[in-house]
């Protein structure tokens, strides 16, 4: 075997040791940097992994795909130290060494966690039973809106986080043409080509709503529902998107389940808008799609029963929704426990 081939085999062997968190692109905070190398064009994460393996202090690294800069770090790092690339610009490939993660650091399996009592949940070494968007926000309030690994009801899952208001977890995303069933309304995932959940497609983890609610000691939890209001006649155009996209916010006490089908009168706040007359108040904020009174779940929810637009899962009967989303088209629901 030539020396070159031997080195390649060794490099490949070493590189298989480096772990990555699928979808987590970014850099660790600069105080953890050990050294940095400019690699030649064509270099891969394997080459950067090889350099990390040669430095006894190296526990993780980032390879910038654009600049070919390979940066080694002195810790595995976790969400607290991680400057994550925005979802629109993934260029920093981040990897870490196995069996080297302290509490709060990234992991792929329990054996990566070196602190006794820790388990790998939501790809973080922790003793917590649940990891949600709020937990991640509380660890690092500069994390961007993105999909994150979470851990809910004993399952590792990829969830979508809206970080701007303190870490909200997406529960449901519905689009106009969706047909929902009694089963799928609480558990439906469409997948991207890479096999990961498409949280911008048809999506529901409503089954997890009460688990998320109960994972915090707080007496209340917060929900916001966003919707695009279509015209009464069911048209769907740029004007609806521009003027008729609204969110309502409400804060139920913990004894209220999002999975209930009974309309509740709760105070709500409406995001201010140019075209809506509605103001904050008390309204019915039930989750009408959860009613299961035996009638089929309809795909329209505007006043023209023949129109396919405005589809939200709901059963027959009056539209029971807070005003800004009276005739909802696209709808999404977020929860913060
Ligand atoms: C990590 O730990 C696991 C379980 O103890 C072991 O099977 C595995 O070989 C270790 N990996 C490395 C690279 O040391
Ligand atoms: C959701 O549905 C999938 C199959 O589509 C199933 O594997 C999973 O167990 C379900 N989850 C829950 C909480 O029911
Ligand atoms: C639907 O309503 C919009 C405004 O509300 C109106 O401009 C449009 O002409 C209506 N379309 C039909 C087919 O009635």
Half-sphere exposure of 54 (CA within 13 A, CB side): 9
Identify whether residues 189 and 295 lie together within a single domain.
yes
In a mutational test of the pocket of ligand 1, which residue from 49, 98, 107, 110 has the highest number of ligand atoms less than 8 Å from its CB?
98
Cα(100) to ligand 1 centroid in Å equals: 10
Which ligand has an atom closest to residue 120 CA?
1
pLDDT at 28 over 90: yes
Has residue 142 been placed in a domain?
no
- Average model confidence (pLDDT) for the chain? 79
Give the residues surrounding ligand 2 with Cβ less than 6 Å away. Answer: 187, 207
Q: Are residues 80 and 182 in the same domain?
A: no
Which residue's alpha carbon is at the smallest distance from atom 10 of ligand 2?
Answer: 187
Cβ contacts of 274 within 8 Å, gap of 6 or more: 243
pTM of the model: 0.83
What pLDDT does residue 22 have?
A: 79
On whether residue 315 sits in a domain, the answer given is: yes
Kindly state whether residue 16 falls inside one of the protein's structural domains: yes
Count of domains for the chain: 2
180 in the same domain as 83: no
Cβ–Cβ under 8 Å, residues 180 and 297: yes
What's the rounded mean pLDDT across residues 169-183?
76
| Nearest listed ligand to the Cα of residue 18 | 1
- 92-138 pLDDT, tens per residue? 999 999 999 999 999 999 999 999 999 999 999 999 999 999 999 99
Residue whose Cα lies nearest atom 3 of ligand 3: it is 231
Q: Residue 85 maps to which CATH number?
A: 3.50.4.10
Q: Which of 187, 197, 209, 211 gets mutated to test ligand 2 (max ligand atoms within 8 A of its CB)?
A: 187
Neighbours of 4 (CB within 10 A): 8
- Same-domain pairing of 177 and 280: yes
Categorize the per-residue pLDDT at 310 as very low, low, confident or very high, splitting at 50, 70 and 90.
very low
| Whether residue 54 has its Cβ less than 6 Å from ligand 1 | no
Nearest CA owner, ligand 2 atom 13: 207
Quick one: pLDDT at residue 38?
96
Give start and end residues of each alpha helix (H) in the chain. 3-15, 45-54, 133-139, 209-214, 238-243
């Amino acid at each position: 075997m030539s020396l070159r081939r031997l080195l390649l085999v060794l490099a490949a062997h070493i590189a298989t040791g480096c772990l990555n968190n699928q979808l987590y692109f970014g850099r660790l905070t600069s105080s953890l940097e050990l050294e940095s190398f400019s690699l030649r064009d064509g270099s891969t994460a394997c080459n950067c992994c090889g350099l990390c393996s040669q430095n006894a202090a190296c526990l993780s690294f980032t390879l910038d795909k654009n600049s070919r800069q390979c940066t080694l770090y002195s810790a595995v790092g976790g969400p607290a130290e991680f400057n994550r690339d925005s979802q629109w610009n993934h260029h920093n490939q981040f990897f870490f060494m196995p069996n080297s993660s302290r509490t709060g650091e990234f992991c792929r399996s329990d054996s990566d966690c070196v602190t006794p009592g820790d388990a790998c949940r939501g790809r973080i070494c922790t003793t917590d039973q649940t990891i949600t968007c709020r937990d991640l926000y509380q660890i690092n309030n500069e994390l961007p809106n993105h999909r994150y690994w979470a851990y809910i009801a004993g399952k590792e899952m990829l969830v979508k986080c809206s970080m701007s208001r303190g870490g909200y977890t997406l529960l449901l995303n519905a689009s106009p043409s969706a047909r929902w069933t009694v089963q799928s309304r609480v558990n439906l995932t469409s997948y991207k080509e890479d096999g990961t959940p498409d949280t911008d497609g048809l999506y529901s983890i409503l089954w997890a709503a009460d688990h998320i609610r109960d994972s915090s000691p707080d007496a209340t939890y917060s929900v916001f529902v966003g919707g695009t209001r279509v015209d009464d006649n069911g048209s769907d155009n740029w004007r609806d998107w521009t003027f008729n996209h609204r969110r309502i916010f409400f804060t139920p006490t913990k004894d209220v389940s999002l999975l209930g089908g009974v309309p509740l009168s709760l105070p709500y706040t409406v995001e201010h808008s140019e075209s809506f007359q509605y103001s904050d108040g008390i309204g019915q904020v039930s989750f009408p799609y959860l009613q299961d009174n035996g009638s089929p779940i309809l795909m329209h929810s505007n006043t023209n029963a023949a129109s396919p637009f405005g589809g939200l899962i709901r059963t027959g009967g009056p539209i029971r929704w807070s005003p800004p989303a009276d005739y909802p088209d696209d709808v999404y629901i977020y929860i913060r426990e």
